[in-house]
Amino acid sequence: MKIAIQGIPGSFHYQVALDYFGTDAEIVSYRIFEEVAKSVRLGNADFGVMAIENSIAGAILPNYELIDRYELFVKDEYYLPISHNLMALKGQKIEALSEVRSHPMALLQCKKFFSQFPSIKMMDDVDTASVAKRIAEEQLAGVGAIASKAAAEIYGLEILASDIQTVQNNFTRFIILQDTRSKSDFTPNKASLKITVNNEKGVLAKLLTLMSERGLDLSKIQSIPVMEKPWEYSFFIDTQFEDYGQYQQAISEINKRFGEVTVFGEYLNRK
Ligand SMILES: O=C(O)C(=O)C[C@]1(C(=O)O)C=C[C@@H](O)C=C1
């Protein structure tokens, strides 16, 4: 089984792929999320793993757009506790660092820590672990990485500060993607939807009221621009429910009354 991820061993995506699919799966690394989406769509990978939201830094908006554009299905969700660590070549001191590099989402999660070190520049990079690898391979003095403890071990770097995320209790929500909707042997209690509402007065308020009346609990709502129609929006919605039949009925009602509904996936709530 092939699993597409963004990142290399020691990255958080790699950790999720191992936790979810086990050590027998073949993990295929890509540099950007779009390549992960493409690989799943073209059937080069059986599944993809994609971070979608972090409890400190918020949503990774472009990933919603990728799921939509590549017509992927959400098979499941997975929550990983995230501990960030500042690491560098052995023997380096924090004061000697002029820059720290990491994935932009990781940098956002550690902003407070680095406010104590205004001379350290925070630079976006491809993923957490690949920075650790590069520092080790190119013996880059003066450069720090923000990454997992596993990355420090794999690439032989020294941890200068542990657990540097702004809030200790830090989670990233990942989704497991596939190219077609698979039959499930369980009754889902959570769904990811896109609703493109008709542009009428009060439509969102009415939509949310209907959802609440039909027992659909909103766990996330995110507006995304409709590119072809400036200033019009679609809503990406995650919803939890107890009664699958009632949920299905609500979906067909929303389709009729409010606008087009795309179901990205129906799965089990893992929170
Ligand atoms: O760079 C990594 O290690 C990743 O797996 C990426 C990523 C992300 O995309 O949010 C995953 C989890 C953390 O939130 C920080 C970075």
182: pLDDT strictly greater than 80: no
Q: Is the CB of 170 under 6 A from ligand 1?
A: no
The string of pLDDT tens digits covering residues 233-243 is: 899 999 999 99
Which fold does the domain 190-264 belong to in CATH?
Answer: Alpha-Beta Plaits (3.30.70)
Q: Is the CB of 175 under 6 A from ligand 1?
A: no
On average, the pLDDT of the chain sits at 96
Tokens of 169: 């209790």
Cα separation, 22 vs 266, whole angstroms: 23
Give the DSSP H or E segment for 245. helix 244-257
**Residue 258 falls in the annotated catalytic set:** no
Q: Nearest residue CA, atom 4 of ligand 1? A: 12
Question: What's the pLDDT band for 184 if we cut at 50, 70, 90?
Answer: confident
Cα separation, 15 vs 23, whole angstroms: 10
pLDDT of residue 226: 87
Contact (Cβ atoms closer than 8 angstroms) between residue 95 and residue 141: no
For 24, 84, 145, 146, the CA distances from 106, given in Å and listed in that order, are 28, 8, 10, 7
Give the class (CATH, top level) of 2-82+171-178.
alpha beta
Q: Is the CB of 197 under 6 A from ligand 1?
A: no
Contact (Cβ atoms closer than 8 angstroms) between residue 217 and residue 271: no
Is the domain spanning 85-161 CATH 3.90.1200.10? The answer is: no
Q: Is the CB of 53 under 6 A from ligand 1?
A: no
pLDDT of residue 138: 98
The string of pLDDT tens digits covering residues 84-104 is: 999 999 999 999 999 999 999
Catalytic residue among 113, 128, 172, 241: 172
Q: Which numbered atom of ligand 1 lies nearest the CA of 103?
A: 1
Mean pLDDT of 222-243: 91
Q: For the chain, give every residue range classified as CATH 3.40.190.10.
A: 2-82+171-178, 85-161
Q: For the chain, give every residue range classified as CATH 3.30.70.260.
A: 190-264
Q: Does the complex come out with an ipTM higher than 0.85?
A: yes
